[in-house]
Amino acid sequence: MNRERVHVNPEDLSRFTKMSAAVFSELRADVMRWCRWVNEHAEATVSYRRVSARAESEHDPPRNPVLARYLNDNRAYLFVVAAVERVQEAPIKDETDAWIVDALENAALRKTQQAFLDAYSAAEDCSLRLCLEPGANCPLDLSEPIIQVTESAVSLSAHLYMHPVKSTALIYEIGAPGSRAEPYSCDACHAPQCPYRQDDRVRLRIAGRTGTDVLELHRGTLLSDALRRYDPNIEFPCGGNSRCGKCAVRVTGNAQPASIRDTELLGEKTREGWRLACSYRLSEDTEISYRQPFRASILRDFTIGPLEPDRLSGEGRYFAAADIGTTTVCVYLVDKHGPRVVSSRVFMNPQRRFGADVVTRISYCDREKDGLRTLHTLIAESVREALDSLVSDAGIAARDLAVLGIVGNTVMQMIAADEPVSSIGQAPYRPAYTHERVFPAGSLGMPCDVYIMPVISGYIGGDIVAGILSCERSGGYSVLMDLGTNGEIALFNDREICTASSAAGPAFEGVSTECGMPAIEGAVTRVERDGDGFHLTFIGSEARGLCGSGLISLAALLRREGAIDETGRMIPEKIFINDRIFLSQRDVRQLQLAKGAVSAGLRALLHSKEVEFSQIGRVYLAGGFGNGLRQDDLFSIGMLDAALRDKLIMIGNSSAKGCIMTVLNEAKHREALDISDTAETLDLAADPYFAAAFVEEMTF
Amino acid sequence: MYLNEIAQGVEEGQAKRVASLVSQAVEEKTDVKVILDSLLDGMSKVGKKFKNNEIFVPEVLISARALNYGLDIIRPILTDTGVKPIGKAVIGTVQGDLHDIGKNLVKMMLVGAGFEVIDIGVDAEAGAFVDKACEADADFICMSALLTSTMAHMKSVIDLLCERGLRDRFIVMIGGAPVTARYAEEIGADHYTADAATAAELAREVLGKKS
DSSP line for A463-504: HHHHHHHTS---SSEEEEEEESSEEEEEEE-SS-EEEEEEE-
CA gap A654, A473 in Å, rounded: 14
Contact of B165 with chain A, judged by CB distance below 8 Å, is answered with no
A347 located within any domain: yes
Using a CB-CB cut-off of 8 Å, the residues of chain A touching B96 are 157-159, 161
Assess whether pLDDT exceeds 60 at residue A696: yes
pTM metric for this prediction: 0.50
Provide the CATH number for the domain around residue A139: 3.40.109.40
Return the minimum-mean-pLDDT range out of A180-194, A538-552, B195-209. A180-194
Phi, psi of A433 (to 5 degrees): -155, 165
Give the residue-averaged pLDDT of B54-60. Answer: 82
A594 located within any domain: no
Q: Which of A136, A157, A175 is the last residue of a domain?
A: A175
A52-61, A208-217, A245-254, B10-19 — most confident range: B10-19
Nearest CA in chain B to A102: B101
Please name the member of B58, B65, B96 whose beta carbon is closest to the beta carbon of A19: B58
Nearest CA in chain A to B59: A23
For chain A, percent of residues with pLDDT exceeding 90: 28
Q: Which of A271, A289, A307 is the last residue of a domain?
A: A289
Assess whether pLDDT exceeds 80 at residue A600: yes
What's the mean pLDDT when you consider all of chain B? Answer: 91
Assess whether pLDDT exceeds 80 at residue A376: yes
Return the minimum-mean-pLDDT range out of A111-120, A433-442, A514-523, B27-36. A514-523
Contact B96 A95 (CB under 8 A): no
Give me the total of CB pairs closer than 8 Å, taking one residue from chain A and one from chain B: 64
The pLDDT, as a whole number, for residue A298 is 43
Which amino acid is it at A145?
P
Contact B62 A26 (CB under 8 A): yes
Assess whether pLDDT exceeds 50 at residue A299: no
Give the residue-averaged pLDDT of A299-315. Answer: 63
If pLDDT is split at 50, 70 and 90, which confidence band does A297 have? very low
Question: A461-487 burial, b if ≥16 CB within 10 A, otherwise e?
Answer: bbbbbbbbbbbebeeebbbbbbbbbbb
Query: A98: helix, coil or strand?
Result: helix
Query: A311: helix, coil or strand?
Result: coil
Nearest CA in chain A to B9: A26
Give the residue-averaged pLDDT of A368-387. Answer: 89
Q: Are residues A33 and A119 in the same domain?
A: yes
The CATH 3.40.50.280 domain(s) of chain B lie at 87-210
Q: Are residues A78 and A154 in the same domain?
A: yes
Using a CB-CB cut-off of 8 Å, the residues of chain A touching B98 are 161, 165
Using a CB-CB cut-off of 8 Å, the residues of chain B touching A96 are 61-62, 64-65
- How would you classify the pairing of strands A582-584 and A616-622? unpaired
Please name the member of A23, A158, A572 whose beta carbon is closest to the beta carbon of B58: A23
Contact B149 A159 (CB under 8 A): yes
Q: What pLDDT digit, counting tens, does each position of A526-577 carry?
A: 899 988 889 998 887 788 888 888 999 999 999 999 899 888 888 888 899 9
Provide the CATH number for the domain around residue A249: 3.10.20.30
**Helices B126-136 and B152-163: angle between axes, nearest 10 degrees:** 50
The pLDDT, as a whole number, for residue A296 is 43
Return the minimum-mean-pLDDT range out of A16-20, A115-119, A357-361. A16-20
Contact A17 B58 (CB under 8 A): yes
Using a CB-CB cut-off of 8 Å, the residues of chain B touching A98 are 100, 104
Using a CB-CB cut-off of 8 Å, the residues of chain A touching B149 are 140, 159-160
Q: Are residues A144 and A14 in the same domain?
A: yes
Contact A22 B13 (CB under 8 A): yes
* Number of separate domains in chain A: 3
Which one is predicted more confidently, A12 or B24?
B24
Assess whether pLDDT exceeds 80 at residue A326: yes
The pLDDT, as a whole number, for residue A233 is 55
Give the residue-averaged pLDDT of A486-505. Answer: 88
Q: Are residues A95 and A226 in the same domain?
A: no
Distance from CA of A158 to the nearest CA of B (A): 7
The pLDDT, as a whole number, for residue A237 is 62
Using a CB-CB cut-off of 8 Å, the residues of chain B touching A106 are none
Using a CB-CB cut-off of 8 Å, the residues of chain A touching B12 are 22
Contact of B152 with chain A, judged by CB distance below 8 Å, is answered with no
Q: Are residues A162 and A215 in the same domain?
A: no
Q: Are residues A115 and A219 in the same domain?
A: no
Return the minimum-mean-pLDDT range out of A218-227, A251-260, A263-272, A309-318. A309-318
Nearest CA in chain A to B97: A159
A273 located within any domain: yes
Nearest CA in chain A to B62: A96
Assess whether pLDDT exceeds 80 at residue A384: yes
A572: preceding bond cis by omega (within 30 degrees): yes
The pLDDT, as a whole number, for residue A173 is 82
If pLDDT is split at 50, 70 and 90, which confidence band does B128 have? very high
What residues are paired with A328 via a beta bridge?
A: A348
Q: Are residues A133 and A266 in the same domain?
A: no
Distance from CA of B48 to the nearest CA of A (A): 12
If pLDDT is split at 50, 70 and 90, which confidence band does B55 have? confident
Contact of B14 with chain A, judged by CB distance below 8 Å, is answered with yes
Which one is predicted more confidently, A99 or A450?
A450
What's the mean pLDDT when you consider all of chain A? Answer: 83
Distance from CA of B168 to the nearest CA of A (A): 30
Contact of B96 with chain A, judged by CB distance below 8 Å, is answered with yes
Give the residue-averaged pLDDT of B4-31. Answer: 92
Please provide the size of chain B in residues: 211
Distance from CA of A23 to the nearest CA of B (A): 6
The pLDDT, as a whole number, for residue A358 is 84
Burial zone of A384 (CB within 10 Å; 0-12 exposed, 13-18 middle, 19+ buried): middle
Taking Cα atoms as reference points, which of A8, A7, A10, A5 lies closest to residue A31? Answer: A10
The answer to whether the CB of B6 falls within 8 A of the CB of B21 is yes
Nearest CA in chain A to B15: A26
Q: Which of A159, A175, A191 is the last residue of a domain?
A: A175
**Helices A95-124 and B57-81: angle between axes, nearest 10 degrees:** 160
B178: preceding bond cis by omega (within 30 degrees): no
The pLDDT, as a whole number, for residue A182 is 53
Numbered residues of chain A with Cβ closer than 8 Å to any chain B Cβ:
17-20, 22-23, 26-27, 94-96, 98-99, 102, 140, 157-161, 165, 193, 195-196, 572, 574, 576
Q: Are residues A38 and A110 in the same domain?
A: yes
Q: Are residues A87 and A226 in the same domain?
A: no
Using a CB-CB cut-off of 8 Å, the residues of chain B touching A17 are 58
Nearest CA in chain A to B151: A159
A239 located within any domain: yes
Distance from CA of A22 to the nearest CA of B (A): 8
Taking Cα atoms as reference points, which of A474, A449, A375 lies closest to residue A416? Answer: A375
The pLDDT, as a whole number, for residue A300 is 47
Which one is predicted more confidently, B104 or A228?
B104
Contact of B62 with chain A, judged by CB distance below 8 Å, is answered with yes
Return the minimum-mean-pLDDT range out of A113-122, A164-173, A351-360. A351-360
Provide the CATH number for the domain around residue A372: 3.30.420.480
The CATH 1.10.1240.10 domain(s) of chain B lie at 3-81
Assess whether pLDDT exceeds 80 at residue A184: no
Give the residue-averaged pLDDT of A365-377. Answer: 87
Q: What pLDDT digit, counting tens, does each position of A445-469 carry?
A: 898 999 999 999 988 999 999 999 9
A587 located within any domain: no
The pLDDT, as a whole number, for residue A45 is 94
Which one is predicted more confidently, A505 or A553?
A553
The pLDDT, as a whole number, for residue A304 is 65
For chain A, percent of residues with pLDDT exceeding 70: 87
Give the residue-averaged pLDDT of A23-45. Answer: 90
CA gap B11, B173 in Å, rounded: 26
Which one is predicted more confidently, B8 or A302?
B8
The pLDDT, as a whole number, for residue A194 is 57
The pLDDT, as a whole number, for residue A465 is 96
Burial zone of B98 (CB within 10 Å; 0-12 exposed, 13-18 middle, 19+ buried): middle
Please name the member of B12, B68, B101 whose beta carbon is closest to the beta carbon of A99: B101
Contact of B181 with chain A, judged by CB distance below 8 Å, is answered with no
Domain extent at residue A275: 201-289
Complex confidence, ipTM: 0.81
Distance from CA of B96 to the nearest CA of A (A): 6
Return the minimum-mean-pLDDT range out of A311-325, A476-490, A634-648, B31-45. A311-325
If pLDDT is split at 50, 70 and 90, which confidence band does B142 have? very high
Nearest CA in chain A to B148: A159
Sign of the four-CA dihedral A410, A412, A418, A420: positive
- Top-level class of domain B87-210: alpha beta
Q: Are residues A103 and A236 in the same domain?
A: no
Please name the member of A22, A95, A157 whose beta carbon is closest to the beta carbon of B64: A95
Q: Are residues A53 and A148 in the same domain?
A: yes
Give the residue-averaged pLDDT of A399-411. Answer: 93
A605 located within any domain: no
Look at the domain B3-81 and name its fold. 1.10.1240
If pLDDT is split at 50, 70 and 90, which confidence band does A57 have? very low
Q: Are residues A335 and A284 in the same domain?
A: no
